[in-house]
Amino acid sequence: MEQHRFSEHALSDWMKGEGPDSDIVISSRVRLARNLRHHPFPMLATSGQSQEVMEQLTSVAKSGQLDRIGRFETFILSDLNELERRVLVEKHLISPNLANESRGGAVVLSDNEAVSIMINEEDHLRIQCLYPGFQVQEAWSLADRIDNIFEEKIEYAFDEKFGYLTTCPTNVGTGIRASVMMHLPALVLTQQINRILSAITQVGLAVRGQYGEGSEALGNLFQISNQITLGQSEGEIIDNLYGVAKQIIEHERAARARLLSDSRLKIEDRIKRSYGILKYAAIMDSKEAAQRLSDVRLGVDLGLLKEVTPTVMNELIVMTQPGFLQQRFKEKMSPEKRDVRRAELIRMQLKGSN
């Protein structure tokens, strides 16, 4: 079976760079939702209509216009097996919704996987741009350039009053979803997180887990994104998210400083216990792995643990997910077997990092 490049490595090339505030902000993302004029939304489309939309959009992707951005490759979802689709989800390159879609679904990926263009997901077209660290404005700039390339070739469903028309009413208007993935262990440990998250929701932002809507915030990873897409410009939405995220970064830094000044020995003990368990455990479920990795990542960022690099921690966040784990070991596993293999993989990676 052909090994696709996206499943060869846990880290996408874009994640290997260090962006601003990358000790707290893991990544920044902007996603644009668009639909084609005179075509039914994907949920109402027949297989033939979905196929027609896919052919139109993939032809734009292959026309050479995207060469202004970089090199791209198109993957038809029906040509990928279940594990390959799951790896794409775990690397945040497609949504769980698209992974389960069998009618005309496709994804166009840039070589460094910073750009993911989803076709026939909830909407006909979803343009996603990812950057390391706190670079939400840069992600928006790139997404806008790609959007313009497609709009030169196809006609979008657009209304003068409501803006871009989308399957879900909450995306109507600009069709933009901007988000930052933040690691906030100190706010959790100092029990400030609920107050912070409550304040966030009151200013028009949403808080979700690592894999978006409906997912749990494992490993102290929180996705902060805009809720409003209508009545504000893209620039206003980006600026609002940027301003709030900047305040959260400051609160997390203050909480980390407080942990070091008030409870240094206690927090160092917690971090090194988690590191020891990760290095020697024979069984590790995904929930415990996420928490232990969060502790160790905090230790790395605070300078309390010199044995591991942030890159290794980023790799392990992806590599310990069920799909990538099974892809790595070339076998389909029961949950119990995954827990054994997960512990084995963590031991190997931490040993290699030393």
Binding-site members for ATP are 27-31, 92, 126, 177-181, 208-213
Q: CA–CA separation, 251 vs 191, rounded Å? A: 12
Phi, psi (5° rounding) for residue 164? -70, 135
Identity at 347, one-letter amino acid code? R
Q: How far apart are CA 288 and CA 300, in angstroms?
A: 18
Nearest-angstrom CA–CA distance, 236 and 147: 18
Q: How far apart are CA 99 and CA 274, in angstroms?
A: 33
Three-state SS for 242?
helix
User: 3-state class of 193 per DSSP?
Assistant: helix
Q: Which residue has the tokens 């809720």?
A: 227
Place of tokens 């070091």: 260
Distance of CA 82 to CAs 60, 86, 199, Å?
27, 6, 39
Torsion of CA 80, 84, 86, 92, to 10 degrees: -100
Distance of CA 256 to the CA centre of its chain: 24
Annotated binding residues: 27-31, 92, 126, 177-181, 208-213
Q: How far separated are the first and last CA of the chain, in Å rounded?
A: 33
The region, left, alpha or beta by phi > 0 then psi within -120 to 50, assigned to residue 182 is beta
Please answer whether residues 26 and 105 qualify as being in contact, where contact means their C-beta atoms are separated by less than 8 angstroms: no
Distance CA 36, CA 125 (A): 8
Q: What are phi and psi of 331, to 5 degrees?
A: -155, 145
Q: Which two tokens stand for residue 255?
A: 């909480």
Nearest to 321 by CA among 100, 134, 127, 85: 85
